[in-house]
């Protein structure tokens, strides 16, 4: 999540000084995911880390500031994963499969963090929300450009390209809500299957030929 390395530990340092921003964020993610953002206080997070409220305040001047940093870090990480997985020179089908695989897998592996990102957007201040929505549009933009290209060259043929983008994004994001399930306990297996599902949703040529049995 683009976190600076923890400060070196000085001998005799008190427990509170060991609470790095990274540890604070990890404790906050667990609390927000478990109890909800609204029911969590910065005081309870500080207590859990054995630090004072004032020490936490030095890093995060408010609960919302803490949520914003978690949200920004998480969304940037998801965007990076999506960008890295894309191979713009590959076919639209290959690109779509790879990007959906990476995005769905990230949601599954980071399901606790991802739930905080998805369900606490409403708790962000307006300016912060706009920052996050910009990152989300970039992530969605990767999928959109692949889908648009696939339709333009005739490789994708199902109706309604904007609908396909919506359904594919929704499928990936919702993974954080239900993962793991009894029939899908493995993130790699989900990611693999969702790559196929995405190709079915856009009516990809490869899926069309596979269908004609």
Return residues touching its own copies (CB under 8 A). Answer: 34-40, 118-119, 122, 157-160, 162-163, 166-167, 170-171, 173-175, 177-178, 181, 183-184, 193-194, 196-197, 200-201, 203, 207-208, 211-213
- For the residues of 34-96, what is the DSSP string, one character each? HH-STT--HHHHHHHTT--HHHHHHH-SSHHHHHHHHHHHHHHHHHHHHHHH--TTS-HHHHH
When the beta carbons of 19 and 71 are compared against its own copies, the nearer one is 71
CB of 81 to its own copies, least distance (A): 20
Report how far residue 184's alpha carbon sits from residue 8's, in angstroms, rounded to the nearest whole number. Answer: 41
CB of 8 to its own copies, least distance (A): 37
Q: Is 192 exposed, middle or buried (0-12, 13-18, 19+ CB in 10 A)?
A: middle
CB of 123 to its own copies, least distance (A): 8
How crowded is residue 11: how many other Cβ atoms within 10 Å of its Cβ?
Answer: 4
When the beta carbons of 19 and 113 are compared against its own copies, the nearer one is 113
Q: Is 183 exposed, middle or buried (0-12, 13-18, 19+ CB in 10 A)?
A: exposed
CB of 139 to its own copies, least distance (A): 14
CB of 162 to its own copies, least distance (A): 4
Q: Retrieve residue 27's tokens.
A: 């404790």
When the beta carbons of 19 and 103 are compared against its own copies, the nearer one is 103
When the beta carbons of 60 and 194 are compared against its own copies, the nearer one is 194
CB of 203 to its own copies, least distance (A): 5
What does each C-alpha distance from 57 to 3, 7, 9, 44, 213 come to in angstroms? 18, 18, 20, 13, 63
When the beta carbons of 69 and 120 are compared against its own copies, the nearer one is 120
When the beta carbons of 89 and 181 are compared against its own copies, the nearer one is 181
SS3 205: helix
CA dihedral 87, 93, 98, 104 (to 10 degrees): 140
């Amino acid at each position: 999540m683009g976190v600076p390395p923890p400060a070196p530990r000085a001998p005799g340092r008190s427990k509170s000084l060991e609470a790095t921003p990274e540890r604070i964020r990890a404790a906050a993610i667990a609390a927000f995911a478990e109890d909800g953002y609204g029911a969590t206080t910065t005081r309870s997070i500080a207590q859990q880390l054995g630090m004072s409220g004032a020490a936490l305040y030095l890093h995060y001047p408010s609960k919302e500031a803490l949520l914003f940093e978690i949200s920004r870090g998480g969304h940037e990480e998801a965007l990076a994963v999506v960008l890295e997985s894309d191979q713009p020179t590959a076919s639209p089908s290959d690109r779509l499969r790879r990007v959906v695989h990476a995005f769905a897998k990230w949601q599954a592996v980071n399901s606790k963090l991802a739930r905080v990102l998805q369900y606490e957007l409403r708790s962000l201040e307006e300016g912060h929300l706009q920052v996050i929505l910009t990152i989300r549009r970039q992530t969605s933009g990767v999928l959109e450009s692949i889908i648009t290209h696939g339709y333009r060259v005739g490789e994708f043929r199902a109706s309604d390209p904007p609908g396909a983008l919506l359904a594919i994004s929704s499928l990936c994001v919702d993974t954080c809500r239900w993962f793991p399930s009894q029939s899908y306990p493995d993130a790699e297996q989900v990611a693999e299957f969702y790559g196929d599902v995405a190709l079915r949703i856009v009516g990809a040529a490869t899926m069309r030929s596979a269908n004609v049995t």
